[in-house]
Amino acid sequence: MASIQELRNTRIQKLEILKNAGMDPYPAKVPRTFCLFDARESFEQYKKENKTISLVGRIMAIRGQGAILFIVLNDGKGKFQAVFKKDEIEEGKWKLFGDAIDIGDFISVTGTFFTTERGEPSILVKDWTIATKSLLPLPEKWHGIQDTDERYRKRYLDILMNPELKDLFIKKSKFWDVTRKFLKDEGFLEVETPSIELTTGGAEATPFKTHHNDYDLDVYLRISVGELWQKRLMAAGFQKTFEIGRVYRNEGSSPDHLQEFTNMEFYWSYADYNMGMDLVRKMYITIAKEVFGTTKFTTRGHSFDLDTDWVKIDYCEEILKQTGIDIRKANEKEIKDKLNSLKVKYDGDNMERLIDTLWKYCRKNISGPGFLINHPTLIGPLAKSVKGKDVVQMFQPIIAGSELGRGYSELNDPIDQANRFGVQQELIKSGDTEAMMHDHEFVEMLEHGMPPTCGFGFGERFFAFLADKPVRELQLFPLMRPKLEENNVKDEGEKEKKKVNKGHKNN
């Protein structure tokens, strides 16, 4: 079996054959009447009129031998069969095709429509020209790329050979289209807020840090879709805003977590978290119906129907019910002992992280749909408190054992907010890299006055759950470690650069 390099060398020889025949292997334009999808739609009309047309696509298969060849073309929107008959094509062109063309090449074919004996709509080729000569072969047709690392690294081939994966990405685009239309129909204004910030806010996560050369400032990539900025817009007099955009979190990867992903956040003046829950339920049902055509799903070992009444799940009571621990009274040692007895690993050594870890153990047993409510104040530093209780007006959709969104009655008391930021600062000083940074200018805005507001956000993890796929699988181009070749001086130089840069970062 020939190696990849041997196959490449053979194709380079065929490239020269095309050039010697006077055919540009990489022309800027080739004859094309319409795409292959439209060719099928217009087939009967053009066949009846016997019109000469041109089609372009990548060769996915070649069948036949001798005086007749059947070629399957694919242009990304559809597939179509081209039939080459030796007595229909100029002799030199017939020979050139056999000598220089491979599966994977893009070609333009010109001819007329006809139906084969097997009933397949086809084009009878009278002439052809190269559109792009490929120098490397496509993966084997039936198995595609089997290695996961290679699939992610060569995503263009993975998608080309896997139509179901391509359909998922089209569906993912529709997921965001439906979300955007739903919010606009509800009167929300789409806005854009900074993705480079002096302080990160709106979530608890470790940010990516970089340097702004012109201002000589250390800055961060945002970890939320403009939460603290959109709240400023509420103070400015906007009543409903939303943003869909990328966020960045410098933390571990898992089937449901990435360092870069798309989120949506909306903010709604004069609304509280109860109104937010009603809107979110309606939005999730709309998304499910319009994108997936159903509200019933089975994923991650859970089955649920979004178009039902959503139960309310009390944060503290649920933990007590499942573990016997009352987090309102328990101390750090008691929670650690319980986590150890449950064989649950935990990071961090403060109550917020320990309680959060205990809850994550419990949530996996809840299929939903429901809303998690009554979070301890420590868990929701940006949410308004429930009067007379040490819990906040926060809600999270619980579906298939996970939180798929988060919303609050937003805290608009500047003194309370400053105090909560202070608590988060102490967590940062103690080594908690995910605690929230203090934003003095945001507190100043609150002192000018922000109306009662409900905010909510969710990300593409919701889509991944409905599709029953790991979220990494649903990234077009997941971040990959560089593929270094042995004895490659350039790559060794890159490794040295990374060592130097890492040293600068640590300094």
Residue 245's pLDDT band (cuts 50, 70, 90): very high
Write phi, then psi, for 460 (nearest 5 degrees): -70, -10
| CA–CA gap between residue 73 and residue 57 (Å, rounded) | 5
Residue 457 has pLDDT above 90, yes or no: yes
Residue 115 has pLDDT above 90, yes or no: yes
Segment 264-318, tens digit of pLDDT: 999 999 999 999 999 999 999 999 999 999 999 999 999 999 999 999 999 999 9
474-501 core/surface letters (b: 16 or more CB in 10 A; e: else): bbeebeeeeeeeeeeeeeeeeeeeeeee
Q: Could you tell me which of 378, 455, 437 has the C-alpha nearest to residue 201?
A: 437
The radius of gyration computed from the CA coordinates of the chain, to the nearest angstrom, equals: 29
The least confident of 125-129, 255-259, 487-491 is: 487-491
Positions of E strands within 75-134: 79-85, 106-115, 121-132
What pLDDT is recorded for position 377? 85
Torsion of CA 33, 38, 39, 44, to 10 degrees: -120
| CA–CA gap between residue 244 and residue 183 (Å, rounded) | 11
Residue 502's pLDDT band (cuts 50, 70, 90): very low
Residue 381 has pLDDT above 80, yes or no: no
Residue 348's pLDDT band (cuts 50, 70, 90): low
Q: Work out whether the CA dihedral 431, 436, 440, 446 comes out positive or negative.
A: negative
What pLDDT is recorded for position 205? 81
Residue 233 has pLDDT above 70, yes or no: yes
| CA–CA gap between residue 363 and residue 356 (Å, rounded) | 10
What pLDDT is recorded for position 501? 44
Residue 486's pLDDT band (cuts 50, 70, 90): very low
